[in-house]
Chain A
Amino acid sequence: MAISGKEREAFEKKLEAYVGLDIGVEDHSRNPINAAMIRQWCEAMGDENPIYLDSEVASGSAHGGIVAPPAMLQAWILGGVAMAAGEDDPADKQRELHRLFDAHGFTGVVATNTEQEYLRYLQPGDTVRARTVIESISEQKATGLGIGYFINTRSVFKDQNDDEVGSLTFRVLKFEGAEVPAEASGDSGEGSPAGPPQRIKPALAHDNAWWWDVIETGELPIQRCAECGVLRHPPRPMCGECQSTDWDFIRSTGEGEVVSFVVIHYPEVPGYTYPLVVAVVELSEGERFVGNVVDVDPGDVSIGMAVQASIELVDDELKLPVFRPVSV
């Protein structure tokens, strides 16, 4: 539970003291801007822009000579291998602020936004240093990850002439009930995906598990009343026409036509491809069925369109009937 009442008031009072504070630690480039680090960066990024490595082309470009990739700005001042040890500088007010959050149960941390401004591109031989200010701390917010506070910091980068070359703003959420420990001061708040995204699995029970068993064999079954012969879908225990609980099933040919459809653009659920066409298909045997129409431009789907079902794996485990337009 989030802290409340007087305790929260006292905590937020303490937070206020950090707003506007310089964190007290100046980061500086340990080496001047140099070709070796630029090359390593460009190779990692697959960036073949010649202004970073080819002095001839760079000289003839609008940049007038070799420059460093702008997104490297922060790379020049990061700590390198020492960061792996994770030791805090005791003078660092930002770390102190994070520890204050930790002590009040807001142990989770996740970066949510970054924004960079580049006033000029750095050139070999330049040096940079950065000072960071805690710009703001939000009110308490209820977020998808839990209750927490957003912290905005802004780092201003200056060169050897004390001229500003760029800035970096960073927004992190400190939140309660973290499943992701602080070391993951990481890059996304979406938890821990294990393997590729999977579809939501059907709830299997006595009345419908048989249907999924037949799907597993690659056929599309339609339940049929053994008494009056009326088809029904989805599977259920009793015939709506004659109330008989005796049933069998037929194997559909999978031929049908689109009776109605929607195209889903948002929200995007992992495991599906968007835009996603969800259609009501009337099978040639007469029963209607809801499924996806795939391998088609959503703009080309129309009511009355002839489609053919095929039973396919839609993720690592789940087989489903999907529909494709029948080419004429």
Chain B
Amino acid sequence: MGETRRFAEVGVGDALPALPIELTTSLIVAGAVASQDYTPVHHDKKAAQAAGMQDVFMNILTTNGLVSRFVTDWAGPDARVTHLSVKLGTPNLPGDTMTLTGSVREKDDAAEAVVVDVTVKNAWGNHVTGSVKVILAAGD
């Protein structure tokens, strides 16, 4: 967990540190259970295969949780996320790696918030693309 990032010290175009995450069955199942999403395709390989997938795949809440964490890891404990928006793409399957990258698209001076564009890639392309709006700590 980094230090709290101040609104004044952040500029448009600033890149967030890339975050690669190894995709394991444990992560996918733990994310599904932690989000109370027991839809079988997220924990039961046979159900996933019956649905045309090769294995269990990550649920949307886990993806959102990881995207949100990626931004707050950078923004620090005082930051507050207000919007999270994603377009869904290729599935996250065990054995692959998802890599989150992002950069500051705009600064909202009135709200002391920034909008971070986020791209999450896996071997198949874009897992999700989207943006997170986060209110940063006021400058000291």
B interface residue numbers (CB < 8 A to A)? 1, 21, 27, 30-31, 33-41, 44, 47-48, 50-54, 57-69, 72-73, 77-93, 95-96, 123-127, 137
Is the Cβ of A181 less than 8 Å from the Cβ of B38? no
A interface residue numbers (CB < 8 A to B)? 37, 40-41, 43-51, 57-58, 61-63, 69-72, 74-76, 78-84, 86, 111-119, 121, 179-181, 183-197, 268, 270-271
Most interface-central of A40, A71, A74 (chain B CB within 10 A): A71
Contacting residues, chain B, for A82 (C-beta < 8 A) = 38
Nearest-CB distance from A149 to chain B (Å)? 17
Contacting residues, chain B, for A41 (C-beta < 8 A) = 34-35, 65
When C-beta atoms are compared, the residue in chain A nearest to B89 turns out to be A188
Contacting residues, chain A, for B68 (C-beta < 8 A) = 69-71
Nearest-CB distance from B1 to chain A (Å)? 5
**Complex CA–CA separation, A179 to B127 (angstroms):** 20
Is the Cβ of A114 less than 8 Å from the Cβ of B64? yes
Contacting residues, chain A, for B127 (C-beta < 8 A) = 188
A187-B58, A188-B91 known; A45 and B69 CB under 8 Å?
yes
Is the Cβ of B61 less than 8 Å from the Cβ of A75? yes
Is the Cβ of A196 less than 8 Å from the Cβ of B123? yes
Is the Cβ of B41 less than 8 Å from the Cβ of A183? yes
Is the Cβ of B86 less than 8 Å from the Cβ of A114? yes
Which 7 pairs show the lowest CB-CB distances between chains A and B? A184-B51, A44-B30, A78-B36, A62-B78, A44-B34, A188-B91, A115-B85
**Complex CA–CA separation, A273 to B44 (angstroms):** 31
When C-beta atoms are compared, the residue in chain B nearest to A179 turns out to be B52
Is the Cβ of A49 less than 8 Å from the Cβ of B77? yes
**Complex CA–CA separation, A186 to B62 (angstroms):** 13
Nearest-CB distance from A177 to chain B (Å)? 13
Is the Cβ of B96 less than 8 Å from the Cβ of A74? no
A40-B34, A72-B35, A82-B38 known; A180 and B51 CB under 8 Å?
yes
Contacting residues, chain B, for A192 (C-beta < 8 A) = 52-54
When C-beta atoms are compared, the residue in chain A nearest to B29 turns out to be A44
Is the Cβ of B31 less than 8 Å from the Cβ of A113? no
Other than the given A62-B79, A116-B64, A183-B47, 12 more pairs (CB < 8 A) read: A45-B31, A45-B65, A45-B66, A49-B1, A49-B73, A51-B77, A86-B40, A118-B83, A184-B53, A190-B90, A268-B125, A270-B90
Nearest-CB distance from A324 to chain B (Å)? 23
Is the Cβ of A118 less than 8 Å from the Cβ of B82? yes
Nearest-CB distance from B20 to chain A (Å)? 12
Contacting residues, chain B, for A185 (C-beta < 8 A) = 39
Is the Cβ of A115 less than 8 Å from the Cβ of B35? no
Is the Cβ of B77 less than 8 Å from the Cβ of A61? yes
A184-B53, A190-B89, A197-B123 known; A78 and B34 CB under 8 Å?
no
Nearest-CB distance from B113 to chain A (Å)? 12
Nearest-CB distance from B88 to chain A (Å)? 5
26 contacts between A and B (CB under 8 A): A45-B31, A45-B69, A49-B69, A62-B78, A63-B77, A63-B78, A70-B84, A71-B61, A71-B81, A71-B84, A72-B35, A79-B38, A81-B38, A113-B86, A113-B88, A114-B88, A115-B84, A179-B52, A183-B50, A184-B41, A187-B63, A190-B89, A190-B91, A192-B52, A193-B54, A197-B124
Contacting residues, chain B, for A114 (C-beta < 8 A) = 60, 64, 85-86, 88
**Complex CA–CA separation, A268 to B34 (angstroms):** 33
**Complex CA–CA separation, A197 to B90 (angstroms):** 12
Is the Cβ of B34 less than 8 Å from the Cβ of A84? no
Is the Cβ of A116 less than 8 Å from the Cβ of B77? no
**Complex CA–CA separation, A113 to B40 (angstroms):** 21
Is the Cβ of A193 less than 8 Å from the Cβ of B65? no
**Complex CA–CA separation, A70 to B117 (angstroms):** 18
**Complex CA–CA separation, A250 to B92 (angstroms):** 45
**Complex CA–CA separation, A44 to B33 (angstroms):** 9
Contacting residues, chain B, for A84 (C-beta < 8 A) = 38-40, 44
Most interface-central of A43, A48, A58, A114 (chain B CB within 10 A): A114
Nearest-CB distance from B61 to chain A (Å)? 6
**Complex CA–CA separation, A187 to B53 (angstroms):** 11
Contacting residues, chain A, for B54 (C-beta < 8 A) = 192-195
**Complex CA–CA separation, A118 to B53 (angstroms):** 33
